[in-house]
Structure 1
Amino acid sequence: MAQVVLWEEVDSRHSRPVRTAILTVEGSSFTVYRERNRHSLQLWASLTAAFLPEGYPDSVTSDYLGFQLWDTLQGLSTYIRSMLSTNALLSGIGVGQTTATVIGATFQWFLRDFTGMLGGVIFTIFQGSNLDSKAKQWRLAADFMNDIGMLMDLISPLFPRLFIFILCLGSLARSVTGVASGATRAALTQHFALQENAADISAKEGSQETAATLSGMLLGMLLAKLTSGNTVAIWLCFLALTGFHMFANYKAVRCLRLTSLNKDRVKIILKTYLQNGKVLSPADVSTQEIVLPRFSTKFTGYESLLHKEVTLGAKISTVNVPGGWKNFPEMMKRSATDNYIITHQHREVLVVLHRNSKREDYLKSYVHSLVLISLLESLNPEEAEENSFVWMEKKYSIFMSELGAVGWNVNRIHIVPDKWRAEWHVSAIKDLKVE
């Protein structure tokens, strides 16, 4: 009886079979019984090679396509609106007016760019370290600020005396957009990359953006021509496109299932874990996570872990040691195996970090703080503190193992503490004798 082998040719870029055949071993022959249409295959391969990462869908996370579709749509609406706002901006500068001078227009454009660049530097100083930890929120905030910038450009000709001031406000708004959008995009690219292919994903993102830009420019020029001279039509189109832009951004961010650990995600995970011992997956947490930028913790869905404030990286001089400073050596001795010291006072939990502490210590101390806060709801301060150390000793390593098991990347920690650190020597603490 002849031996046969099922044989396939596969397109390695997309893991798709091109030809399937039966190979007869004894006769050294094969018969093709299925072959994909070469023309449609080549067309599809060309499109995917230009716009999708190599090896898609196996080379990226499952939330990649949904995010990119909505992100492309919001980008398209942005480029269409930019034609309307740019038209108004050029009119305000004086393009087409016989009284306008080249030096005047140049000065206004220079002042606009200078303000934007200065604003970007200032924004980076104050918020640069938070862009990784709150990538979703800043992604939305960046696009909202872009909408503000376009709105400033559109209304600037209406107020000739305030034209330069409004122009600079718009440039400041867009400077936040540039910094926040670029930084969060880098964080999301790292999230999408499953095969160390961040550069490929970034390149395909550029191709997608170019396609959206070209389409947006063509549609924008058509819309600008149709609405030329009709103020009502211009504003209606602008507001409608802005509303769609924010909706598409919200949907794009909602598609994300980030696996990194930040403060908000740790709070959501730990709340459920302390209640029933279950560790939520990234998909479960993404449905509960607040993605809108907020200035309050009200109505977040995990209020029970937020009634006390956690100061991570507190000054050691702000610590009010229970029983006085004579008990401070005992407190340090209890934390001798950790790179942090934890205590509570009034409605605040203070964490003093060692100068050699790392991201793993930030996560551990933050989990410890939330466990202590949870215990303080039912126990007195002394019992709560004692039980929190017991919980960390017995359950923290199990908790971390279960996090990794359900898909969390425990090596990607985006918890940003305050800047203060302290130094103490573990060997000296172990030998302390409290008098």
Structure 2
Amino acid sequence: MMVGMALGMLVARITIGHPLAIWFSFLSLTMFHMYANYRAVRCLALNSLNPERSSILLHHFTETGQVLSPKQVSSLEHVLPIQLTPWHSKKANSLDTKVRLGTRISSFDEMEIKEHLLSVASYYTKAKYLLVEKKGIVNVIVHKDSNGADILKSFIHALVLANNAYKSKSLHSDSQTWMENQYEVFIQKVKSLGWKTERLLSSPIIWRANWIHQSATEKND
């Protein structure tokens, strides 16, 4: 701290009265400061699950059957906003950009509700969320009683669905099978490497919905 202040005072004294030197010093030091911050952020290895880290972990797990450590994921995670990331880098792990968490039911019109919502509801009778794929985007409708673990599960399920969007004709059936057979295995492996799996670190979910599942026997009575 003291060294930096001393150098700053020295530079200020040397460049006084020289506008070009002042601007050169300012721009040079600003660029160095930004680079130092970038390198510092790159050194962080956070063990909380956000959308991008979840996407990276799931992508690697589906490819290899293994999960990455927080340090390994840190080297793959974007530091800059996704809009400023090169196209080839975006393409590598961009499943999280295809998931919309906390979608409002009112954002669907009557035809879409019949065509999308009602047709897939049977796949989520035991879940506290609904997944609706629309124009390449997986919309997650969250139940009002869902907790942190439910939201994390819904997001992972949505990533699986997004990953299979162009590979399978029976999206919901195949993704449900994956969740039943692989989700707990995935979560346990993630936990074993120190990841926190209690919740998904995401923006607050403002819109939630309420629905009641009715079994076939109840309908016939």
TM-score, structure 2 length as denominator? 0.85
Q: Which has the higher contact order (CA 8 A, sep 6+)?
A: 2
Write out aligned runs for 1:7-406 (5 A).
212=1, 214-295=2-83, 298-300=87-89, 302-303=91-92, 305-306=94-95, 309-319=98-108, 325=114, 331-380=120-169, 383-406=170-193
Aligned partner letter, 1:384: L
Q: Post-superposition shift, 1:408? A: 1.3
The aligned amino acid for 1:318 is: S
Structure 2 vs 1, CA of residues 296 and 384 (structure 1 numbering), >3 Å: closer, same or farther?
farther
Distance 1:430-1:336 versus aligned 2 partners, 3 A rule? farther
Could you report, residue by residue, the CA deviation over 1:131-160 in whole angstroms, capped at 9, with x for unpaired residues? xxxxxxxxxxxxxxxxxxxxxxxxxxxxxx
1:343 match: secondary structure:
strand
TM superposition score normalised by structure 1: 0.46
Report the Cα distance in structure 1 between the residues aligned to 2:126 and 2:142, rounded to whole angstroms: 13
Alpha-carbon distance between aligned partners in 1 of 2:111 and 2:60, rounded to the nearest angstrom: 31
SS of the residue 1:342 aligns to: strand
Shift of 1:320: 6.7
- Supply the distance in 1 between the matched residues of 2:179 and 2:212 (Cα, whole angstroms): 22
CA contact (8 A) 1:321 1:328 kept: no
Whichever residue aligns with residue 400 of structure 1, its letter is I
Change (3 A) 1:379 1:296: farther
Q: Any unmatched runs of 5+ in structure 1?
A: 1-211
| d(CA) in 1 for partners of 2:65, 2:110 | 33
CA distance in 2, matches of 1:400, 1:360: 11
8 A Cα contact 1:329 1:429, kept in partner? no
Secondary structure (helix, strand or coil) at the match of 2:88 reads coil
What RMSD in Å do the two structures reach over aligned CA positions?
Answer: 2.8
Unaligned runs of 5+ in 2: none
Q: Given the alignment, which residue of 390, 411, 435 partners 2:198?
A: 411
Show CA shifts across 1:32-62 (max 9, x none): xxxxxxxxxxxxxxxxxxxxxxxxxxxxxxx
CA contact (8 A) 1:259 1:409 kept: yes
Change (3 A) 1:406 1:302: farther
- Distance across 1 between alignment mates of 2:206 and 2:5: 45
Q: Give identity over the alignment, percent.
A: 37
